[in-house]
Structure 1
Amino acid sequence: MTSTLRVLPFVAAMAIIVAVSNVLVQYPFEHLGLGEILTWGAFTYPVAFLVNDLTNRRFGTGAARRVVLAGFVIAVALSVWLATPRIAIASGSAFLVAQLLDTAVFDRLRGQAWWQAPFVSTLVGSALDTVLFFGLAFSSAFAGIDALFGMEDGSLAFAVPFLGGQAPLWVSLALGDFAVKILIGLAMLAPYGALLSVLRPAPAVR
């Protein structure tokens, strides 16, 4: 059984990344005219997949799931304090489902080329995370969540120009967010590859 102390650094890193991302996702990236399709959170959140994959590589799926669950609890608690309840609910739900999917996909591809498991798992997890998070956090369909906590509607459902037509702002933000997650996911292959010799699989991990 993996010692709790051995995975604490991964838990702490996961909680910090998600909490920071929950705040930054509320702020559009106003540079290069990308304010309507991108938020600052898109640049930080993909690092969570790197933490998950490194935990999975070193300690296996059981430890990775424990890190995800611990990070989920801590991140939601911090998010309730740092962001709105609706953001916290959306972030927690998307985080939990997407990270568990990432864990399963990574394990399935563990024996393939070194880059396949982290990249494919991040790609699939990021897609699901984006759909769940932006759908829950900003779609008008879930505006009632804010009302339950006596808060104003945080919906970003109003239309903006997008690809020659009109789209809800949250949809354009989600697409921009996903594109950046993939780019950051590709960039995260560099530190993952650099740490392969340091974080070798434990004896019990195949």
Structure 2
Amino acid sequence: MSRAHLPGIFAMAAIVVASNILVQFLFGQWLTWGAFTYPLAFLVTDLMNRVYGAGPARKVVFIGFLVGVACSLIGTQIIGEFGPLVTLRVAIASGTAFLSAQMLDVAIFSALRRRVWWQAPLTSTLIGSAVDTALFFAIAFSATLSWLDPGADIAWANEVLPMLGIGPMVPLWVSLAVADWLVKLSLALIALIPFRLIATRMEARVRHS
């Protein structure tokens, strides 16, 4: 890991910390503010992969994972109105989803890196985001996995309601997952613009260094 990789490391760490804080604050009925910051982690991973390759990208992901674990451990020690801010299930879900999705993102991006410039970041982010959302919400809130943390109260997340208030009847956590993925989908498309601009500038800097 060279000094050139430090901006990516700091950016990933900042995104993980910010997302862990902002997830405590609701945005509307189905989202938290963390839903808007966390997807930027895929942008950082893809930029590192484009400019420096899969190896440095994986190292940045692993550092982000360690920062996330530290945030979760701190969260388990902070008692809020309804108990610890971070339960064991949420901590397991967060770490598993982050590491699995980001590593998958790196692998897919690497496989597509020689195609048209937008295919690798868009495809890897869309697939990685879908895996991230599915793993996190299922592990954190699905009733079938209640054995992971029998003491955690997930009854609220399994209340059956219309999906996003208008669709078929599903557990609340499914609506939360769908809303979260829709945000990730939107940001994946928007992020193509900064990806192109930043990657071009970073690659030029690397060539002239």
> Is TM more than 0.5 here?
yes
List aligned pairs for 1:129-144, cutoff 5 A: 129-144=132-147
State whether residues 143 and 153 of structure 1, in contact with CA within 8 Å, keep that contact through their aligned partners in structure 2: no
Q: Is the 1:12–1:71 contact (alpha carbons within 8 Å) kept by the matching residues of 2?
A: no
> What RMSD, in angstroms, separates the aligned Cα atoms of the two structures?
2.0
Q: Distance in 1 between matches of 2:109 and 2:117?
A: 11
Q: What is the TM-score normalised by the length of structure 2?
A: 0.84
Q: CA shift at 1:17, angstroms? A: 1.3
1:39 Cα shift?
2.9
Q: Does 1:87 align with 2:90?
A: yes
What is residue 121 of structure 2 aligned with on the other side? 118
Q: Residue 24 of structure 1: which of 22, 25, 42 is its match?
A: 22
Contact (CA 8 Å) 1:16, 1:75: kept in 2 or not?
no
Unpaired segments ≥5 residues, structure 1: none
Alignment of 1:46-195 (within 5 A): 46-82=39-75, 83-84=85-86, 85-147=88-150, 152-154=152-154, 156-162=157-163, 163-195=166-198
- How many angstroms does 1:70 deviate by? 1.3
In structure 1, how many angstroms separate the alpha carbons of the residues matched to 2:158 and 2:20? 19
Counterpart CA distance in 1 for 2:119 and 2:67 is 29
Alignment CA distance shift 1:24-1:143 (3 Å): farther
Greater RCO, 1 or 2 (C-alpha within 8 Å, sep 6+): 1
Partner of 2:37: 44
Q: Deviations over 1:76-132 (max 9, x none)?
A: 111221341332221111000000000011111111111111111000000000000
3-state SS, counterpart of residue 111 of structure 1: coil
Unaligned runs of 5+ in 2: 76-84
Match for 1:63: what amino acid?
P
Partners in 1 of 2:160 and 2:23 — Cα distance?
19
1:14 to 12, 15, 22: 12
Is the deviation greater in 8-17 or in 118-127?
8-17
Structure ranking higher in helix proportion:
2
Larger displacement relative to structure 2 (39-48 or 77-86): 77-86
Q: Which amino acid aligns with 1:158?
A: E
Aligned length in residues? 193
SS at match of 2:65: helix
Q: Is the 8 A contact 1:91 1:133 kept in 2?
A: yes
